Amino acid sequence: MVEQKDKKTEEKEENQEQISNKIRIKIKAYDHVLIDQSTKTIIDVAVKNGAKVIGPVPLPTHTKKYTVLKSTFVHKDSRDQYEMRVHKRLIDILESNKKTIDALMSLDLPNGVDIEIKM
């Protein structure tokens, strides 16, 4: 009985380790050059530490448009239109270890890049 429980607990621990090995990183930025540089540095760090990387997968760009009147009172026909684009990328890191996670947490990325890490 004791041996069977030990085997079951070992299997559960292995399953938890396999589940925690997958890391999903979502990156958002207004500038496409910054987001490409950030994804390249993240992939380089992960590969250097021995992890398997899938991506970067480009997600759809979210575009928000604003229309503003030039005049304060009368001239409604003259307007300015502004557009704000949010570029997104997705990276999956498989078979990661503690060294990879520590390296990703201590990574210094430029301002304007938002990172969301899920394990």
Using one digit for the tens of pLDDT, what is the confidence trace for 89-113? 999 999 888 898 899 889 999 999 9
For the chain, the 3-state helix, strand and coil shares in percent, each to the nearest 5, are 35, 40, 25
Structure token digits, residue 105: 């947490």
Classified by CATH at the fold level, domain 22-59+87-118 comes out as: Alpha-Beta Plaits (3.30.70)
pLDDT at 45 over 50: yes
How high is the pLDDT of residue 25? 95
Average pLDDT, the chain: 87
How far is the C-alpha of 34 from the C-alpha of 41, rounded, in Å? Answer: 11
How high is the pLDDT of residue 76? 87
Q: Delimit the domains of the chain by residue range.
A: 22-59+87-118
pTM: 0.75
